[in-house]
Amino acid sequence: MGLRILGIIIPIIIVVFFCGVVVGLYEYFPYEGLNQTKKILFNEGTDEHIITSTSFEKFDASSIIEINTKEDLTYKRTSLIKYIWKDQMPTKLPISITENFVDDNFSDLENLKQLDKITIEMEHGVNSIAYFFIPHEQNNKLIIYHQGHDGDFLLGKNTIQFFLKNGYSIVAFSMPLKGMNSQPVIETSDFGPIKFVSHKQFTLLESSKFSPMKYFVEPIVLSLNFIDKNYDYDSYNMIGISGGGWTTIIYSAIDERISQSYSVAGSYPLHLRYETKNLGDYEQTNPNIYRISNYLELYTMSSSGDNRKLVQLFIYNDPCCFQAELYEKFPYSNVIQNRLEILGNEGDFSVFLDNSTNKHEISDRVLNLILDDMLNKG
């Protein structure tokens, strides 16, 4: 009986052994799961762990902020504008405004008096479609809302409705190539015709005479030029999620018309992006622009000035990117706030960590926080 059992067990052990060899050698399923389990059980440090524990804790973030005077700040802002447009910030208007536009996706919004469609055309057939929401009962304040990489600003309908109900006019944007915006086929001299569907492709258009970075900010400039000409709002504030949060920071850094900015899961400084999920697209890591102003300098510029403010908001366990846990490890708000004090102005910078959701979204808690903050600032 014992020999019979042994005769069964030994072949099983041999098969399991050889299966293990094959899985380990060729990394077949379930190699990845077993490998991760081994790392956890034996506390094997990854490169990420080594970086976290050694490189950044001693890093002086203030050492890379080269803004010590208001003149430094003005120079940085002017240099950014010149890089983006190869000239000054444009003063022109959108190519067309369609008043009283009808879009059934938004026809059920409460307190909506009028919806106008704003169309901006740019080089190479890249365009931007923005919607201008005007409320019946309004407080004479404007919010620029910017969606991220997930798609159309229809995804931000809850945010649009929230502020519309509270009396704010809203102009809403999607990122280039997203939502209703075009995905043109561009004839390139070096590579032939290419259909542009990803921001990563924009690097193919970069030259000494043209920067695709303008695709991300020019629609906002032209829309505000139109609104400046036709309306008299008390303030312009800006809110963005994800890639729209990134847009919020870079735009408020170059345009002082923006008073208060709220960037939700939009960016971290480059030295904290040691995980692939936090690297970002072309616009997030384009060295040409971040050599002019790194992220810490952009945060300073967005915050700086009388009655100006930048709030960064991060989400715990965000399934996308820029999780709140990373900021807890490496906070930098005091670095920005100290720099604002050196500049001697009334700007403000703060960070809020949201534990009310585990989704990549602007939560109800954050909506109410932003509203209260804007009301308190007047």
User: Is 63-377 a CATH 3.10.530.10 domain?
Assistant: no
Return the minimum-mean-pLDDT range out of 52-56, 282-286, 357-361: 52-56
Tell me the domain boundaries of the chain.
2-44, 63-377
At residue 15, the pLDDT reads: 60
Which residues neighbour 235 within 8 Å (Cβ) at sequence distance 6 or greater? 141, 142, 259, 260
pLDDT band at 378 (very low <50, low <70, confident <90, very high): low
* Torsion sign (Cα): 236, 120, 361, 246: negative
Q: What is the pLDDT of residues 114-168, one digit of tens each?
A: 999 999 999 999 999 999 999 999 999 999 999 999 999 999 999 999 999 999 9
Cβ distance 188 to 204 under 8 Å? Answer: yes
Share above pLDDT 90 across residues of the chain, in percent, rounded to a whole number: 81
Residues 166 and 160 sit within 8 Å (Cβ to Cβ): no
Confidence tier at 345 by pLDDT (50, 70, 90): confident
CB atoms within 10 A of CB 67: 22
User: How big is the CA angle at 337 (ends 336 and 343), to the nearest 5 degrees?
Assistant: 90
Question: What whole-number distance in Å separates Cα of residue 307 and Cα of residue 297?
Answer: 18
Residue 13 CA, chain-centre distance (Å), reads 53
Question: Which residue carries 């622009």 as its tokens?
Answer: 289
Give the β-pairing of 309-315 and 258-264. Answer: parallel
Mean pLDDT, residues 9-37: 53
Q: pTM higher than 0.95 for the full model?
A: no
DSSP assignment letter at 217: H
pLDDT of 270 higher than 70: yes
Q: Is the pLDDT of residue 41 over 50?
A: no
Q: Are 112 and 136 in contact (CB under 8 A)?
A: yes
Distance between terminal CA atoms of the chain?
Answer: 88
Is the pLDDT assigned to residue 3 strictly greater than 70? no
Q: What percent of the chain has pLDDT over 70?
A: 84
- Mean pLDDT for the stretch of residues 232-240: 98
Angstrom distance (rounded) from CA 97 to CA 78: 29
- The pLDDT of residue 280 is above 50: yes
pLDDT classification of 6: cutoffs 50, 70, 90: low
Look at residue 207 and tell me whether its pLDDT is greater than 50. Answer: yes
- Please state whether 315 falls in left (phi above 0), alpha (psi between -120 and 50) or beta: beta
